[in-house]
Structure 1
Amino acid sequence: MNDTSTPAALPRILLVEDDPTSRAFLAAAAAGTPARVDEADGVATALALSGTTRHDLWLVDANLPDGSGAALLQQLRASHAGVAAIAHTACTEPATTDALRAAGFDDVLVKPLPATAVQAAIRARIGSVAAAPTTRPVWDDAAAAAALNGNMTHVQTLRALFADDLPNTQARVQSAASRGDVAGMQAELHKLRASCGFVGAGRLGDAVAALQDATDDPGRIAAFESAAVETVATWKYRPVE
């Protein structure tokens, strides 16, 4: 039986995306399945990575600066048959998604989309070594209202501040993790968990609590990073009530 508690036991994904923001979002979402993610910004980098590393899935942008996703897929499959492949595109035209499937992609994701949809598509192709994601909402209005005496205007103000600072908090947690600074991680996670309760960031709060219990678990670290990215992304497009 494989030891899924170690990074080597996790599935490995090649993510190809030239836009830095989209690449960061997709990488965090994919890592939260959990999985190890190798990032490439174009065809040349992707081919170089595939030449040295065996991947369980390719997550490929349909349009790249130095070629098309469909052409890249053909080159990848020439050397590595049988690897699952998912395309991602911002084009909503059925003709485009149909063409990508005809080119050999097993699935096509249309951006923008939530992290949970990315993870579901990945799990459908390569399975999961972790439990299915929680169904708790990203933003729990009832919990936030209860914490702040039903004042939703106050809730929304605090949520804006919370979402604005969350990337900084995430970076501090990641830095502490990379240094092996468990005390530093726990201090940041303790403060973040309390803040999640005040603003009703339910799904992130669950990920923080899980990471507090096992700060050296790569799957929980990846799940925390994915939840943080999803929390910020969904706030940006959430109308003020």
Structure 2
Amino acid sequence: MHQTPPPLPRLLLIEDDLISRSFLQTALEALPAQVDCAETLKGALDCAGQHDYALWLIDVNLPDGRGSDLLEQLRRYHPLTPALAHTADTCDALARQLRDDGFENVLVKPLSRESLLRSVRAALPPVATDLQALPAWDEARALSALNGQQAHIKALRDLFMGELPSVRDAIAQALRDEDRGQLQQQLHRLQASCGFVGAARLGAAAAQLQQQPENPAARASLTQAIHQLLLN
């Protein structure tokens, strides 16, 4: 039976400044994640009424109110959703107040892409997908990716399996070095390759580790998925 990888986390970004919103949205989509945007309290409440979100990123000052007031309203309906505040204000007293108001962390703009993603990953709920429910090899997905060319699947899988030990070692090295850029690059390439050859379980594990590279469970899941394929 054809099974798909777990869906991307859905995030709600509330930011009224166009330049800041464009930067934040582009960076967040690289998690990878699905990002919805709102510019006002009203827009954010409308979005929250239509979708469930894994995380809210809320500007402290909005055209129609305060970020803390928005968080209070959102929490009436979604009490467990984590939230990050973002602001250009560097005042320590404000940061303490925002945490008291219920924000997990306060991001000070301008901030780097890596700093943003690190904070978002730390705030996202832990990985909970049962990877063992996915097949090691998904024939239907591989055939779809290769336009039904059955003969190409074996050739590509042989190449994929031949390169997998070196990919495993490169990912392990990136984790040891805490090289987030190299890690994300390796995981992105691995996830794409898994899609072509139908390595469903490993592809899902790579996607999870992309989202939460510091999560021990996600790291263990990737190691196990690679080991299982190499043993077959």
**TM-score, normalised with respect to structure 2:** 0.54
Q: Which amino acid aligns with 2:98?
A: L
Asked if the contact 2:11–2:53 (Cα under 8 Å) also holds between the matched residues in 1, the reply is yes
Listed one character per residue, the Cα deviations across residues 97-119 of structure 1 (whole Å, up to 9, x for unaligned) are 11111111011101111111111
Aligned partner (choices 62, 66, 75) of residue 68 of structure 1: 66
| Alpha-carbon distance, 1:29 to partner | 1.5
Equivalent runs, 1:132-211 vs 2, <5 Å? 206=185, 210=189
Q: Does the 8 Å CA contact 2:54/2:125 hold for their aligned counterparts? A: no
Q: What residue in structure 1 maps to residue 56 of structure 2? A: 58
Displacement of 1:56? 0.9
Distance 2:65 2:109 in 1: 19
CA deviation profile, 1:82-108 (whole Å, cap 9, x unmatched):
000000000001011111111110111
User: Secondary structure of the residue that 1:27 maps to in structure 2?
Assistant: helix
Corresponding residue number in structure 2 for 1:101: 99
**Percent of pairs identical after alignment?**
42
Matching residue's letter, 2:37: E
Could you tell me how far apart the structure 2 residues matched to 1:76 and 1:116 are?
27
Offset, 1:5: 3.5
Q: CA RMSD in A?
A: 3.1
TM-score (norm 1): 0.52
Runs of 4+ that moved beyond 3 A:
3-6, 209-217
Q: Unaligned regions of 5+ residues in structure 2, if any?
A: 128-180, 197-202, 211-232
Residues 142-201 of structure 1: CA deviation (Å, up to 9, x unaligned): xxxxxxxxxxxxxxxxxxxxxxxxxxxxxxxxxxxxxxxxxxxxxxxxxxxxxxxxxxxx
2:114 match: 116
Q: State how far apart, in whole Å, the 2-side matches of 1:98 and 1:121 are.
A: 17
In structure 1, distance between residues paired with 2:87 and 2:105: 11
Aligned to 1:19: 17
Q: Which amino acid aligns with 1:29?
A: A
Aligned to 2:27: 29
Point out the more displaced range, 32-41 or 57-66.
32-41
C-alpha spacing 1:212/1:126, structure 2 compared with 1 (3 Å)? closer
Segments of 5+ residues of structure 1 without an aligned counterpart are: 130-201, 224-241
Q: Greater relative contact order: 1 or 2 (C-alpha under 8 angstroms, separation 6 or more)?
A: 1
The residue identity in structure 1 corresponding to 2:116 is: V
* Higher Cα radius of gyration: 2
Residues 66 and 4 of structure 1, relative CA distance in 2, 3 Å threshold: farther
Q: What is the distance in 2 between the residues matched to 1:106 and 1:39?
A: 20
Q: Which residue of 1 is the match for residue 81 of structure 2? A: 83
